Structure 1
Amino acid sequence: MSPTDDSPGDDALAPPAPGDDRPLLRVSGLQKSFGSNLVLDGVDFEVRRGEVVALIGPSGSGKTTVLRSLNGLETPDAGTVTFDGGPAIDFSKPVSKADRVALRDRSAMVFQHHNLFPHRTVLQNVIEGPVHAHKVPRAEATARADALLSRVGLSEKRDAYPFELSGGQQQRVGIVRALALQPALLLFDEPTSALDVELVGEVLLVLKELADEGWTMVIVTHELAFAREVADEVLFFDGGVILERGAPKTLLSHPTHERTRRFLDRILRPFEG
């Protein structure tokens, strides 16, 4: 898209520029329990700028809790999260409001069920965060939103309400809303799981384009063919730990852990035998 006088230039639509070679995100020893249910039991991983990391595994294995912890929506019981070489947030100590704000300023999350405000238009949904959380002038936020809606083919829906959109269109608006915050890290929690089968492809195409452009992403997904094509690393979760990690073509084709093999057999070969 060519910028116009009243729309943002390419920099407003591009991922944050790379810095030095330090990991953008470092997670160490993350632990979380809900009552007696241990959900995360010492999770460690790193994400470098421009990487796509896919989290796979059975339901209840801790994947979504990791994302929510990175976005400040959950508070782990222990462990550290370090963004961009800055000071580590240590969850074994009380977490300050400033630390929570720092997490949300650096990342943006796209949920399974869109989570759009039903009483606001598409445009109003997209500019809500930049205007009210980041104090971006409304005119600038609107120009950025229009440019982003154009790039995902939703310009004509800017004044529509969520109930007037298909599920795929709502999820694309959710992605635009995250991009409008210009985060360092994009978090996706099963972004296609609530969609009809015929709508999955349009959302996955947007995610692939973002990956090709260099956005840094952590994606919880059961779309293993998509993970194989787009991810730089796949982490297999089970029982609150990462049992196996590796390049997608290796892990998804030749897993070394028996539990990973059983999971992949159920997903990839459900009708064999």
Structure 2
Amino acid sequence: MSRTDRHTEPLLTARGLHKRFGDNEVLQGIDLTLHRGEVVVLIGPSGSGKTTVLRSLNGLETPDAGTIVVDGGPEIDFDSGARLPARVRKQQRFALRDRSAMVFQHHNLFPHLTVLENVIEGPWRVQRRSKAEVVAEARVLLDRVGLSDKADARPHQLSGGQQQRVGIVRALALKPDLLLFDEPTSALDPELVGEVLLVIKELADEGWTMAVVTHELQFAREAADHVLFLDGGVIVEQGAPAQLFTAPQHERTQRFLTRILRPMDGA
């Protein structure tokens, strides 16, 4: 039984998301539902809109049109966004950001802060929780990813894989409902990829709700409940990994997987 079968309650529903940058329409009507405890993996060629989807769900980008509902709350309607006061639009972004946390491709750690200080910055200064409480929680989280001995290190003293694990811990420290991963291994040396994917798989097994943009298709096969293939700003095809990777229905999906999977299978 998949996590989707066990967790049928929608956490986030997005409908008709559009986003344009100049003449480039990056999203052309994205419909997406994330259920509690579900792992959704977004795949597709570069420039297909995958990262823009994540950034829209997190409030880092404001869609030009469409709606998002989080956990049965009020509908955020971007169709009327241009007519809303700036204060309201800012509240909408924060409403999304308060429920989710993003793990970025390039870590984005503060170089002047220690590992521990990086982890507690959000829960302490933004969420205004007790410093003693967040420090204790941060040490537990660092221990679970094997970095308890790096609490006082600076980011430049860590390997790329260790920095990314700190990025994951920093996201977890915010206690989000939704974890968003934007190609979390693409900036890593190949030998470091596995240690980061292992942490993400463990989070999936614990029942975290996650949306992951990745080119690691073996990870998608093993960890995803649902896979979305995007191309040209649209969801071309979606389904369970067993179906999508072995019997894709759309010719564009077939072409993409043939290019990516044949080298993997022959390795």
1:81 aligns with 2:68: yes
- In the alignment, the residues of structure 1 paired with residue 75 and residue 159 of structure 2 have an alpha-carbon distance, to the nearest angstrom, of 41
Structural mapping, 1:258-269, within 5 Å: 258-269=251-262
Tell me the C-alpha RMSD between the 2 structures.
1.2
1:213 aligns with 2:200: no
3-state DSSP of counterpart to 2:253? helix
Tell me the residue number matched to 1:7: none
Which of 168, 172, 175 is the matching residue for 1:175? Answer: 168
Structural mapping, 1:1-273, within 5 Å: 21-94=8-81, 96-270=89-263
1:196-216: CA deviation from partner (whole Å, max 9, x where unpaired): 000000000000000000000
The amino acid across from 1:240 in the alignment is G
TM-score by length of 2: 0.93
Tell me the residue number matched to 1:5: none
Structure 1 residue 98: deviation in Å?
A: 1.6
Structure 1 residue 21: deviation in Å?
A: 4.8
1:212-238: CA deviation from partner (whole Å, max 9, x where unpaired): 000000000111111011100000000
- Name structure 2 gaps, 5 residues minimum: 1-6, 82-87
Structure 1 residue 245: deviation in Å?
A: 0.3
The amino acid across from 1:70 in the alignment is L
3-state DSSP of counterpart to 2:137? helix
Aligned residues: 253
The amino acid across from 1:215 in the alignment is W
Contact 1:22 1:85 in 2 (8 A): no
The amino acid across from 1:28 in the alignment is R
1:107-126: CA deviation from partner (whole Å, max 9, x where unpaired): 00000000000010000000
Structure 1 residue 22: deviation in Å?
A: 3.3
Structure 1 residue 270: deviation in Å?
A: 3.7
- In the alignment, the residues of structure 2 paired with residue 123 and residue 106 of structure 1 have an alpha-carbon distance, to the nearest angstrom, of 22
Structure 1 residue 96: deviation in Å?
A: 2.2
3-state DSSP of counterpart to 1:269? helix
- In the alignment, the residues of structure 2 paired with residue 50 and residue 22 of structure 1 have an alpha-carbon distance, to the nearest angstrom, of 9
- In the alignment, the residues of structure 2 paired with residue 45 and residue 69 of structure 1 have an alpha-carbon distance, to the nearest angstrom, of 12
- In the alignment, the residues of structure 1 paired with residue 61 and residue 129 of structure 2 have an alpha-carbon distance, to the nearest angstrom, of 26
Contact 1:188 1:220 in 2 (8 A): yes
- In the alignment, the residues of structure 2 paired with residue 193 and residue 249 of structure 1 have an alpha-carbon distance, to the nearest angstrom, of 24
Structure 1 residue 239: deviation in Å?
A: 0.2
Between Structure 1 and Structure 2, the one with more helix by share is 2
3-state DSSP of counterpart to 1:117? coil
1:2-36: CA deviation from partner (whole Å, max 9, x where unpaired): xxxxxxxxxxxxxxxxxx95300101000000000
The amino acid across from 1:120 in the alignment is L
- Name structure 1 gaps, 5 residues minimum: 1-19
Structure 1 residue 49: deviation in Å?
A: 0.3
1:157-211: CA deviation from partner (whole Å, max 9, x where unpaired): 0000000000000000000000000000000000000000000000000000000
- In the alignment, the residues of structure 2 paired with residue 141 and residue 240 of structure 1 have an alpha-carbon distance, to the nearest angstrom, of 39
The amino acid across from 1:65 in the alignment is T
Percent sequence identity over aligned pairs: 72
- The 4+ residue runs of structure 1 with deviation greater than 4 A are none
The amino acid across from 1:232 in the alignment is D
The amino acid across from 1:166 in the alignment is S
The amino acid across from 2:110 in the alignment is F
Tell me the residue number matched to 1:10: none
3-state DSSP of counterpart to 1:194? coil
